[in-house]
Structure 1
Amino acid sequence: MPPRPHFYFWKIMNNFYGVIKMKASSERLRSRSLEAKIMTAEEAASLIKDGMIVGTSGFTPAGYPKEVPMALAKRAEKENLRITLYTGASVGDELDGTLARAGAITKRIPYQTNDSIRKGINSGQIEFVDLHLSHMPQMIRYGFLGKLDVAIVEAVAIREDGGIVPATSVGNTPVFIEMAEKVIVELNESQPLELEGMHDIYTPENPPHRKPIPITKTADRIGTTYIPCNPEKIAAIVLTSRKDSVRPLAPVNECSRKISEHLIEFLDHEVKRGRLPKKLLPLQSGVGNIANAVLKGLVDSPFEGLEFYSEVIQDAVFDLLDSGKMTIASGTSVTPSEEGLERFYKNINFYRDKIILRPQEISNNPEVIRRLGIIAMNTAIEVDIYGHVNSTHIMGTKMMNGIGGSGDFARNAYLSIFATPSTAKDGAISCIVPKVSHVDHTEHDVMVVVTEQGLADLRGLSPRERAREIIQKCAHPDYRDALMEYYKKAVDLSGSAHTPHILEEALSWHINFLQKGRMI
């Protein structure tokens, strides 16, 4: 039986659609010679073999590849395929989640927030290396982390010379492209072309040839608007329009509002004492609901002309830019809520000259942080009475997310501030404890601790002075007496000890909290 007429119609229409699509992507794929590299996600995923080290774009999930990892996960469900996965920081479920659930990840570096990855790490199925984010790019370049086989990166466009224009994050993408044997590009048509020009790509040389990073002001641009790439390294191009799976931000609650108020009052005090200029110094803020709420509080503060030099640009930064309170925001990723992302795209021409996206080895670089005099504001899981901070582990054993960039900023900041609610689990657990169950930031790197109860300025205080200040200012009233009782008992028993502790009793706090947590 001969084909019906409508068969030819749809065949012609399909061919016509293909031509239209190629023309539409010509703005994004500007090298005619690379058109032959366009293939399906499944074909691109077939380039990745068992045992390879794969680096991907993406930073707190923004600008990460999606199609190729999902295709790779499907392969891993049917064949023996496991890889070592490097990223910039956390990425979306289409990457971390699908590969973890398929059992395709042997090792993961350097930071994650995905439930499936976390379960794999804490069950021992996935080896996890928790690194300072500024350290990883040079560790790759030095060869400390092995030879990178493949880089999978999301892009807005590919230039005529092979240069890759990133999407909403930069992260480790430049070093992955530089060091990988092959590069797979996901050319994402859902990411606006107006992102081009927002990036500032600069790569430091290796010692002994390294020069000072020439950033002396937050607004300085020192590099290119694209990532250089030898076009011969590009092994595959996958066309996609899949959007980032951004995370919602919780509304500002009473606890976060009080933390923000305490911080603003403290910063105002520092201005009045002459220790900060009226427009403050450049701000850094960690990622998440508390960090976003703290920044949001600055919209109604007396401060003007604010600058932001950080990693992640969240909704509150848009609030500050829109209000005119902030003049410039530098980071390595734009990671707002779904509403925030829509707002960013809608007003992207307004934000283009106010936002700079840099590689994470520049956004998190200790040299630049120290030079600019950053006010670093990060969050903690728990803080002990002497000022040590745990920002990564639950009960000292279960990995939550990772240290991220908090250590890069805390160690080198003009002011190093850590915020946490005073309690967790609806008040059943104190976040101020005699001794943290895991140390990420030592007392030497923590200048200020703030909870909704109050703020403790630890600068120039001895361990005993810090203990009294933290207990009195930051602990919840339900736990304040018990913490002070522990401290006084430790002083009595230890006599002349510089940092009084009763280790057995300090441990019992965590055991009691563990039992409470299980009962809730």
Structure 2
Amino acid sequence: MTPQHIPVENLDLGPYLRTGDTVVWGQACAEPLTLVEALVRQRARFGTLRCFLGIQFAGTIVPEHADHLRLVSYCGTGANRALAKAGVLDIYPGHYSTLPWLVSCGPLRADVVFVQCAALGGGRYSLGLADDYLTAAIAAARVVIAEVSDQVPATPGARYLTHADIDVIVETSRPPIESATPSGDEVTARIAENVAGLIDDGATLQFGIGALPELILRQLKDRRHLGIHSGLMNDAAVDLVECGAVTGERKTTDVGKSVCAMLIGTRRLFRAAHRSQAVELHPATHTHNPGVLAVQNRFTAINSAIEVDLTGQVNAEIAGGTYVGAVGGAADFLRAAAHSLGGLPIVALPSTAGTRSRIVAELSGPVSTARADAGIFVTEHGIADLRGLPLSERRRRMIELAHPDHRALLAAGVL
């Protein structure tokens, strides 16, 4: 069946949305802006809709939209922080690997999906900048509406859409949202140096969002035979591919390919991914699959935290009483790295946030990653490998990672 083509100026969601529907759309740089903006403008027509949000960079959804939209997310990242602070964002505190199940046959099964695409010709479309949980949502949805833009890269992937997958096409020429990473500071640079020193030739890398992962990657240009199997690709990863540090030739699966669930970066990244022979988009069922991850050669998982206690428990979700992070894929990746031959399960973070220690005797938020999954912790003050250590030795090693001003208080159990 041929999809219905609707001009942007005539975009009316009324025929496709029903009161009570769950609407899912692409996250981060893959947000289909035209479609989400139309939903916001027309929301009062549909009674109540439930919207599953991923990472928000554009801030299209704001607290005032909760008058008719019930907002649910797995994260408080980006513009979601304002929603969480306003008390209008409900959080699903699950592992990232469960998101495809959640939106395909779980409690947040998608009724309507908005997706941003690039036309490939012949009735085929690339998912462009994200697959993650979209493939699963599209398979479950009653209606799929595609925003097809000539500004979106045609990124090779495990899945392409055809006319059989799409009900409505809206053609635009809007460029994707860009996400430039902050440059970082001296503390971040020292942490990055400590982490980079752990990574050997031939490792398969996973990394997250932010200045620290970018700085770590920028210090790996002298390595060789690296691979990437990650939730995301960023601008710094492109540099590693182009300088020859990343070849993927020693990966166990997807040999020669840098695999990710989404692209988060700038036009430099988007241009590099367009019809690339080196980068592929895959769903989270592959990028976060424990069996696929654990067999990777020297799988090196680099994740972050809001705070860590002296036993290795990680809070990656709540800071100052506000939901700002996520459970995310950390446990998926850290467990896999622990089982990978030569793997490194790394959690890296600054030792302080302002004057407050981020190495603490007791977490102020939930346990996002259990101490049973604790691996290697890195701050600007050093490296602590907790693998196989009893609690008493863990305490000593973690106190050494804290800022010197806080070590005595931590030893006394005050902080």
TM value normalised by structure 1: 0.71
Alpha carbons of 1:361 and 1:159: their partners in 2 closer, same or farther (altered >3 Å)?
farther
Q: 1:281 to 1:357 in 2, by over 3 A?
A: same
Q: What aligned pairs does 1:91-240 form with structure 2 within 5 A after superposition? A: 91-93=56-58, 95=60, 97-98=61-62, 100-103=63-66, 104-115=68-79, 117-141=80-104, 143-157=105-119, 160=122, 163-192=124-153, 195-196=154-155, 198-201=156-159, 226-227=160-161, 230=164, 234-240=166-172
- Alpha-carbon distance in 2 for matches of 1:420, 1:134: 23
Report what 2:312 is aligned to.
387
Match of 1:262, SS? helix
Is 1:65–2:32 an aligned residue pair?
yes
CA deviation profile, 1:266-296 (whole Å, cap 9, x unmatched): 34xxxxxxxxxx5232111111111111111
Render the CA deviation track for 1:97-133: whole Å, top value 9, x for unaligned.
Answer: 25x4322431313234233x33333443232213211
**Alignment pair present for 1:260 and 2:180:** no
Alignment match, 1:335? 264
**Structure 1: 5+ residue stretches without partners:** 1-30, 202-225, 268-277, 487-504, 510-520
Between the aligned partners of 1:244 and 1:92, the Cα distance in structure 2 is 11
More helix by share: 1
8 A contact 1:75–1:81 mirrored in 2? no
Equivalent residue letter for 2:51 = L
Distance 1:172 1:41 in 2: 29
SS in structure 1 of the partner of residue 395 of structure 2: helix
Q: Secondary structure at the match of 1:191?
A: coil
Aligned to 1:37: 5
Q: Does the 8 A contact of 2:17 with 2:46 survive in 1?
A: no
Q: Secondary structure at the match of 1:332?
A: strand
Letter in 2 for 1:419: A
Q: 1:452 to 1:180 in 2, by over 3 A?
A: same
Structure-to-structure mapping, 1:381-460, within 5 angstroms: 381-395=306-320, 397-413=321-337, 414-425=343-354, 428-437=355-364, 438-460=366-388
Q: 1:56 aligns with which of 7, 25, 45?
A: 25
Aligned counterparts of 2:24 and 2:393: Cα–Cα separation in 1: 46
CA deviation after TM superposition for structure 1 residue 185, in Å:
0.8
When the two chains are superposed, the root-mean-square deviation of aligned CA atoms in Å is 2.3
Higher strand share: 2
| CA pair 241-41 structure 1, distance change in 2 beyond 3 A | same
Aligned to 1:322, which of 214, 218, 242? 242
- Please tell me whether the aligned partners of residues 124 and 161 of structure 2 are also in contact (alpha carbons under 8 angstroms): yes
Check 1:91–1:244 CA distance in 2 against 1; reply closer, same or farther (3 A cut): farther
CA deviation digits over 1:157-194, x for unaligned, max 9?
A: 2765x6542111112111111100011110112114xx
Q: How big is the shift at 1:66? A: 0.9
Cα gap change, 1:122 to 1:345, in 2 (>3 Å): closer
Name the count of aligned residue pairs.
397
Q: Displacement, 1:416? A: 1.1
Structural mapping, 1:235-246, within 5 Å:
235-246=167-178
Q: Structure 2 CA distance, aligned partners of 1:134 and 1:159?
A: 32
- Are the counterparts in 1 of residues 312 and 394 from structure 2 also a CA contact under 8 Å? yes
CA deviation vs aligned residue, 1:414-439 (integer Å, no higher than 9, x gap): 321100001112xx111111111221
Counterpart CA distance in 2 for 1:331 and 1:49 is 33
Query: Equivalents in 2 of 1:41, 1:451: separation in Å?
Result: 52
Distance 1:298 1:68, change over 3 A: same
Deviation at 1:244, TM superposition (A): 2.2
The aligned residue for residue 298 of structure 1 is: 220
Residues 128 and 82 of structure 1: CA distance in aligned 2, closer, same or farther (over 3 Å): farther
The Cα of 1:458 is off from its aligned counterpart by: 0.9
1:153 deviates by 0.7
